[in-house]
Structure 1
């Protein structure tokens, strides 16, 4: 039989970490060094560094005689770092207390591990909250942004963390180098540079599990990390047995300063409306899909189909609430927010022409993803205030980038893909991209998509210009008949109204409000009073009839919100 190769561990901190792992219920066993001896399960109760280990041998009393005579034994067990065994050690004292047999052993000076020491990963149990704050440069704006998540496991060389998909993860991930801060319940902070090694998406839970490798760790930081790993094992072991009061709580997990909002991601984000929360789930999927695309993966056909259905269900449940919801999400990339808005409005516009559901579903899917190819391009393109001809041509490649990722989406009609993704940026006079198609090459769906796309895009600020109000954006496309099909421009205005849902209006006494309802003549009927000009949040007032707002005066302006 081939002898298993073990790697010796003799660092005090690392040894203590492995002993904490061996103290987990059902992990530790001892084997006498006499020939033919079997392994026997024991409970490792306590350790004192470089002094002793305390065992409970109540279940294996038959071992007491040879141990009292000085027979050595090996301590063994399967830990997160692999199979481990100690050097031969002796029991130095055995005692019985209230019917239980306890034994003290000399603290082993070495443990042999079947795997590399760096592979040891301490896993946090439920209820053990450690925050992970990820800092990186925003791909869109070039500003530092933060992403908050939950630590799941930790080793001396890296960690695994989970981030909520609705928090705009694509703004931060997967940058090759990023800064991480660990935040423990007692207020202890630890910052380290890291490299993203892998990303896994859990669409059901709406989280991304991200593996990080720590970069350029100093000896001091490495020891600190081993201390953290040991304390996580200590606390996990303490919590493993209900009612176990023999172990002192880890100091790291004692909340002291009350700053609990940094201990993990906050899935309970406040949204302006329940429908906005539903839309945020779809936005979370798209954001994680963008991250997957950056990793070289294709568009997930099943997930795209499922979320397109969800979008249609939202419109079926309440078109007005869904139309307003597109203004209420703001954590995600602008391309995702834009794609969702185009999808909602384009599908809603087509619903007035009795388009079948399967067609509307395909339109929704294509519209949702039509712009996320931009997230695969260099960030410098989206930060520039002016674009050279070379950079402008590079920007146009975002269309081909996303089209190349749709090979698995067999259910998507090629005609709809062509109209909504490939031709949404084309113009009647041939001034669009990527193929400079003219009017005779553009179908009705492509013409409608171009109008919806341009009106929403004009409302969103960019480094080279500020966003326009809903009314100004519509007037922008109305004034360019050479580029936009005026039949669809007119249909857009007739369908959504002159001041559509999602418009921010200002009253003569200075109060702001969001339009959330129109009457049959497409005139404002209901609003929600807003305390600010930023994206709608849970600070909004209740839905009220416009006619009941007597104290705010008449509407004097339609303005562009600050987002």
Structure 2
């Protein structure tokens, strides 16, 4: 027997009988310290739950240190039941004793389920983790004109949660932005919708995810009560899965789905990426991950870690030298990444390829690749209410706003001592300039643009044109070549010619069509720039039959005559 001292705590009151019954059923003497108080007495008696009868809406409590109580006087007495752990304090009241009898030193009280429950602020900042096997899908809405972003959840508390967002969708998340809706859906279909404010965004280990900490703000009483219910159920499920509750621990209904074939232990933490990726694609995706990490560092006003860009540039150069055709094809297989990452990787890879072929530029290639990897990152830093997405059709105001990306990136890189300042200016600062002064941000003309800038500008423009945009479809390689070649006042014709000589009229990663309806990706070229090896993926002449056959030139006749290049988006195709 102990004397209970009252402690002032902010409490949340819940009167939902189904919710209360669920919580009561989850209690056990191995996971909670239970005690009861009779009427308004200050004396608390240790208790345990010996029996629960949901069908009769009753439970039986066993008191082991209550010799002073007379069982005959306890019928219809009001009770207060308290359940505590280091992380929570629950109180149940508005229920009474139906029957009491003594069994040796134990006093047993049969009672109705309580009619009211309250939880104190003791557990407010305790985060309940979603341990292995516990999953809930999350959809986060940031901007009203953009679709919700799919995420995972790591933990949940009354004050906030930690989300797991794919790095490829992490650009809009930054400290202090408001998230108007976070919808958490559990396997049984129950859903919690709540709003919050981002408190931190950081890489989640070596995964392709970002950990996003969210603080909940200004919850209405009903919303807070519902949130506490979900927190209790997450803890209950965790206790059940870890075995900490022993035989008295019951699973939470939140994590039981009615879907055919569902297995309770079958939910696994989401993985990003495809299991059948070729090794070179996997290696380039690691460089993409490092770019995301650099971007997160800048968003958090932190310096870009030097090893991140050094490692990324070194990896690209090693892969290029190891097997040029496979490397160039792998650069085209980054469809899971946002466009700015795909573009940055391709420009860096193609710039390295062209610089290594030019003796006078080869010794600067590593530093140039680092600058090229960063040249478009400023666009991702501009995502905001003014520019909610980098993809899709932009207004004229948004296009003008987007041009700020160069100055933003140059300012962010100013204190970075390990990045070659000259190459940073030539590539990051000037890659969007044109020979006739029509470029941006400063309208520089030919005499101010170095050979490296002219080379990088051609590569940048060609890659951008071969990608679809909100206001236009993609250009084929030949169409893009023609556009640049016929504008020698804007683009250096020498570098346009050198690029065509390196990549041919059917560049690796292009989609080509044969006369018998076969579509194929170019994987390798011969010395004359003609396709030597291809991956056949579709036959539009046979009800769009999908395929995945790698063929060499000796097998081409069975496909028909090579008719030319086609635009992948017309067939919803991506290299793989």
Using the size of structure 2 for normalisation, the TM-score is: 0.77
Q: Is the CA contact 1:272–1:540 (under 8 Å) kept in the aligned structure 2?
A: no
Work out whether 1:312 is the aligned partner of 2:314: no
In 2, distance between residues paired with 1:239 and 1:159?
Answer: 21
- The answer for the alignment partner of 1:552 in structure 2 is 559
In structure 2, the residue corresponding to 1:411 is in which secondary structure?
Answer: coil
Q: 1:145 to 1:68 in 2, by over 3 A?
A: same
What is the CA deviation profile of residues 181-236 of structure 1, one whole-angstrom value per residue up to 9, with x for unaligned ones? 22222233344444434322225222211233456755554433322222111111
Q: How does 1:289-368 map onto structure 2 within 5 Å?
A: 289-353=294-358, 359-368=364-373
The partner residue of 2:235 within 212, 233, 236 is: 233
The question of whether the paired residues in 1 share the 8 Å contact of 2:137 and 2:184 is answered with yes
Unmatched runs of 5 consecutive residues or more in structure 1 = 33-40, 58-63, 534-538
Q: How big is the shift at 1:502? A: 0.9
- Matching residue of 1:199: 201
1:328, distance to aligned residue in structure 2 (A): 1.8
The one-character-per-residue Cα deviations of 1:317-359 (angstroms, maximum 9, x if unpaired) are 4322221122222233222211111011111211223589884
Give distance in 1, aligned partners of 2:539 and 2:132.
39
Deviations 1:272-300 (A, max 9, x none): 64433332333344345445544544434
474 and 21 in structure 1: CA distance in 2 versus 1, 3 angstrom threshold: farther
Shift in CA distance, 31/244, structure 1 to aligned 2, threshold 3 Å: closer
Q: Secondary structure at the match of 1:405?
A: helix
Structure 1 residues 560 and 24: CA distance shift in structure 2, 3 A: farther
**Aligned equivalent of 1:134:** 140
The answer for the alignment partner of 1:77 in structure 2 is: 85
For residues 318 and 32 of structure 2, the distance between their equivalents in structure 1, rounded to whole angstroms, comes to 50
Q: Distance in 2 between matches of 1:43 and 1:350?
A: 76
Please tell me whether the aligned partners of residues 134 and 267 of structure 2 are also in contact (alpha carbons under 8 angstroms). no
Residues 272, 73 of structure 1: CA spacing in aligned structure 2 closer, same or farther, 3 A cutoff? Answer: closer
Tell me how far apart the structure 2 counterparts of residues 267 and 336 of structure 1 sit (CA, whole Å): 16
In 1, Cα distance between the equivalents of 2:370 and 2:416?
Answer: 10
1:116-135 alignment, distance < 5 Å: 118-135=124-141
Residue 42 of structure 2: aligned partner: none
Query: Which residue matches 2:495?
Result: 488
Task: Give CA deviations for 1:134-178 in whole Å, capped at 9, x if unaligned.
Answer: 34559xxx5x43432222222345422112324x33367786334
Counterpart CA distance in 1 for 2:120 and 2:219 is: 22
How many Å apart are 1:44 and its aligned residue?
8.2
Match of 1:529 among 533, 536, 541: 536
Is structure 2 residue 442 aligned with structure 1 residue 442? no
Could you tell me which residue of structure 1 aligns to residue 513 of structure 2? 506
Q: Where does residue 37 of structure 1 map in the other structure?
A: none
SS in 2 for 1:549: helix
Trace 1:167-316 onto structure 2 (pairs within 5 A): 168-170=169-171, 176-214=178-216, 219-241=221-243, 244-258=246-260, 265-269=270-274, 273-287=278-292, 289-316=294-321
Question: Do the aligned partners of 1:122 and 1:232 also contact (CA within 8 Å) in 2?
Answer: yes
- Residue 433 (1) aligns with residue 433 (2): no
Aligned length: 529
Give the Cα separation in 1 of the matches to 2:50 and 2:485.
77
Alpha-carbon contact 1:22-1:77 (below 8 Å) kept: no
Residue 465 of structure 1 corresponds to which residue in structure 2?
Answer: 472
Change in Cα spacing, 1:4 to 1:521, as seen in structure 2 (3 Å) is farther
Q: Could you tell me whether the CA contact under 8 Å between 1:118 and 1:157 is conserved in 2?
A: yes
**Secondary structure of the structure 1 residue equivalent to 2:198:** strand
Determine the C-alpha separation between the residues in 2 that align with 1:508 and 1:120. Answer: 65
Q: Match of 1:375, SS? A: helix
- Decide whether the 8 Å contact of 2:393 with 2:469 is kept in 1: no
| Range 286-295 or range 506-515, more displaced | 286-295
Which residue is equivalent to 2:407? Answer: 400
Match of 2:485 in 1: 478
Determine the C-alpha separation between the residues in 1 that align with 2:197 and 2:501. 52
Please state how far the C-alpha of 1:488 moved relative to its aligned partner. 1.5
Task: State the match for 2:152 in structure 1.
Answer: 150
SS in 1 for 2:171: helix
Contact 1:169 1:288 in 2 (8 A): no
Q: Secondary structure at the match of 1:324?
A: helix
Match of 1:38 in 2: none
Q: Report the CA distance shift for 1:287/1:337 in structure 2 as closer, same or farther (over 3 A).
A: same
TM-score (norm 1): 0.78
Contact 2:340–2:376 (CA under 8 A) maintained in structure 1: yes
Q: Deviations over 1:404-456 (max 9, x none)?
A: 22245322110111111001111222222222222222222111111110110
SS in 2 for 1:515: strand
Question: Secondary structure of 1:170's partner?
Answer: coil
Cα contact 1:28–1:77 (8 A) shared by 2: yes
Matched-pair contact (CA < 8 Å) for 2:163–2:213: yes
Residues 110-140 of structure 1, C-alpha deviations (whole Å, 9 max, x = no match): 878464x6435322221111111234559xx
- Structure 1 residue 398: Cα displacement: 0.9
* SS of residue matched to 1:435: coil
**Aligned counterpart, 1:379:** 387
Aligned to 1:412: 419
Q: Residues 206 and 284 of structure 1 are in contact (CA less than 8 Å); yes or no, is this contact kept in structure 2? A: yes
- How big is the alpha-carbon RMSD for the aligned residues of Structure 1 and Structure 2? 4.4
* Secondary structure of 1:432 counterpart: coil
CA deviations on 1:37-67 (whole Å, 9 max, x unpaired) are xxxx999899899976868x9xxxxxx5x44
